[in-house]
Amino acid sequence: MGSRVGAVLAAAMVSVAAQAAEKPNIIVILADDMGVDSVAELNEKLGIKTPHLDKMVKGGISFGDAHSGSAVCTPTRYGVLTGRYAWRSRLKSGIVGKWERPLIEEGRLTLPGMLKEQGYDTACIGKWHLGWNWPKKGGGYTQKQGEIDFTGTIEGGAMGCGFDYYFGDDVPNWPPFVWIENGKMSGVPDTNLKFAAHYGSNNGIGLKGWKLEDVLPEITRRSVKYIDEKAKTDDPFFLYFPMTSPHTPIAPSEQFKGKSGISAYADFLMETDWCVGQVLEAVERNGISENTLVIFTTDNGTSPKAKFEELREKGVELQEHWRGYKADAFEGGHRVPFIAVWPGVIKPGAKSEQTISLVDIMATCADATDYKLPETAAEDSVSLLEVFKDPSVTKPLHEAVICHSITGQFVVRKGRWKILFCPGSGGWSAPKDAQAKKQGLPDWQLYDLVKDPKEINNLVNTNPEVVAELKGILKKYVEQGRSTPGAAQPNHNQQNWWPQLPWQKGE
């Protein structure tokens, strides 16, 4: 090869590498069942130390008004990975069940798919809970445990929607108690496992000797290993790290058992914080901080399995600012911590009170990588990049944000106003909807969150014009198949009405 040709080639290669290097690495850490009051830096009454999350808050931007798409696991995860509210899919309430097929539609552009298209290496390490195609004995797929060929390959799921790599325990409190790596199980789950009640886990089939305590440390170790490996390559990477904690099984590892002096749950929350710290440390150690966007958030509010009262007696307050908890339409169900760190782009210690949603992660990542989203994708997602760069931007990014309870009850949030189209919590806290109805409470609830953050004074009967406006917004968002500007898109099966919507069919 002539030296000139070689030099030109070398220059071209450098330029390709430089272009690739311009795309930031992206890490999305999604804790499980961890409400906004669970971070010490954001709640001075927490009573548990969270030094690593505190460091993120101080080093980046934290949002005080961020919401998960739903108050439970599966639908929020759908929204993170598609930028679309999960109630547009086949799932109108609840979660994907054991052995259920994939929820994310084939052919839909996803967050990992979009990044893969741009040359990213993509990995999901942790809890999936969005369904898989379980291999059936003799061929095909099944949704019945008894028909599954556990030596076969699980398809769809994480590998089917754009991840190059998956490692984890699909749902850690459910069978099978096995590791899944790229569709292969780590062994045949042929032992019936029974766990002590304090874990709060289901029993069922798994590998002999399975230890619930090993799950969180192992997915953390694998995430760190992934960062260590990918930091050495020229291609950018995307790591989605859906943590399994502090959801049940409440299983702090040996290193954390008794560390809080409060409860196993408090120990587990400390371990959760430590695991976030491990990932942050891996980014720093590899010298890639400047070019890595790290987002930490959680899929829904704190579960009552944390035992709020018992913790309160020991000086831990997990419900300082908001009403209700996991599963609810009340704020405690869906208001979550949302922290982003990206040195050079996000200034340290920035705060924003923009009302945002976890569905915004996809458009934010598109914006951060100069990717133009097609109209058929991320229909509810709005980029946060502008606010990352300038937290003083107060013009609302969203006209309104929609949240959803476990029973599929709708919340519309616009500015100070929040409407709940249900008479009670829409979830698990008191009063549940049936109780509320018995008590003769109004069918809907309207709150002024500025004056009444704890959702006590229902203004639904005194503010009919606000009620009409918020209901109209929901109707528009449903019928257009999107809440962002663009061409209308179909919901699942072209369905524009179902019983939880606050108007009559055909109205």
- In the complex, the residues that contact Ca ion under the rule CB under 5 A are 32-33, 73, 169, 171, 174, 299-300
Q: Which alpha helices (H) appear in 70-189, and where do they start and end?
A: 73-82, 111-117, 157-160
Q: In the bound complex, what is the minimum distance in angstroms from residue 127's beta carbon to Ca ion?
A: 9
The DSSP letter of residue 426 is S
- What's the full length of the chain, in residues? 507
361 Cβ neighbours under 8 A, 6+ residues apart? 28, 80, 83, 111, 295, 297, 381
Cis peptide before 485, with omega less than 30 degrees from 0? no
Angle at 283 between CA 277 and CA 289, to 5 degrees: 115
Q: Which residues pair with 185 in a beta bridge?
A: 180
Q: Which residues pair with 401 in a beta bridge?
A: 413
E strands present in 4-154: 25-31, 61-67, 121-125, 134-135, 141-142
C-alpha span between 417 and 388 (Å, rounded) = 25
Residue number, nearest CB to Ca ion: 73
Looking at the Cβ atoms of 144 and 416, the one nearer to Ca ion is 144
Q: In the bound complex, what is the minimum distance in angstroms from residue 113's beta carbon to Ca ion?
A: 23
| Maximum Cα interatomic distance, the chain, rounded to a whole number of Å | 87
Please tell me whether residue 362 adopts helix, strand or coil conformation: helix
Looking at the Cβ atoms of 219 and 397, the one nearer to Ca ion is 219
Looking at the Cβ atoms of 303 and 369, the one nearer to Ca ion is 303
- Count CA within 13 A, CB hemisphere, residue 436: 20
Q: In the bound complex, what is the minimum distance in angstroms from residue 464's beta carbon to Ca ion?
A: 36
C-alpha span between 335 and 70 (Å, rounded) = 10
Looking at the Cβ atoms of 203 and 500, the one nearer to Ca ion is 203
Looking at the Cβ atoms of 325 and 444, the one nearer to Ca ion is 325
392 CB neighbour count, 10 Å cutoff: 7
Q: In the bound complex, what is the minimum distance in angstroms from residue 172's beta carbon to Ca ion?
A: 6
Looking at the Cβ atoms of 61 and 185, the one nearer to Ca ion is 185
Q: In the bound complex, what is the minimum distance in angstroms from residue 444's beta carbon to Ca ion?
A: 26
Q: In the bound complex, what is the minimum distance in angstroms from residue 323's beta carbon to Ca ion?
A: 18
Tell me the backbone φ, ψ of residue 158, rounded to 5 degrees: -60, -40
Q: In the bound complex, what is the minimum distance in angstroms from residue 274's beta carbon to Ca ion?
A: 20
Q: In the bound complex, what is the minimum distance in angstroms from residue 129's beta carbon to Ca ion?
A: 8
- Check residue 14 and give left, alpha or beta (phi > 0: left; psi -120 to 50: alpha): alpha
Closest CA to 139 of 128, 147, 129: 147
Looking at the Cβ atoms of 35 and 60, the one nearer to Ca ion is 35
Looking at the Cβ atoms of 273 and 299, the one nearer to Ca ion is 299
Structure tokens at 489: 């898109």
Handedness of CA 94, 77, 32, 414 (dihedral sign): negative
Looking at the Cβ atoms of 60 and 301, the one nearer to Ca ion is 301
Looking at the Cβ atoms of 219 and 227, the one nearer to Ca ion is 219
Cis peptide before 442, with omega less than 30 degrees from 0? no
Cis peptide before 304, with omega less than 30 degrees from 0? no
The DSSP letter of residue 418 is E
Q: In the bound complex, what is the minimum distance in angstroms from residue 427's beta carbon to Ca ion?
A: 12
Looking at the Cβ atoms of 79 and 502, the one nearer to Ca ion is 79
Q: In the bound complex, what is the minimum distance in angstroms from residue 326's beta carbon to Ca ion?
A: 7
Q: In the bound complex, what is the minimum distance in angstroms from residue 96's beta carbon to Ca ion?
A: 12
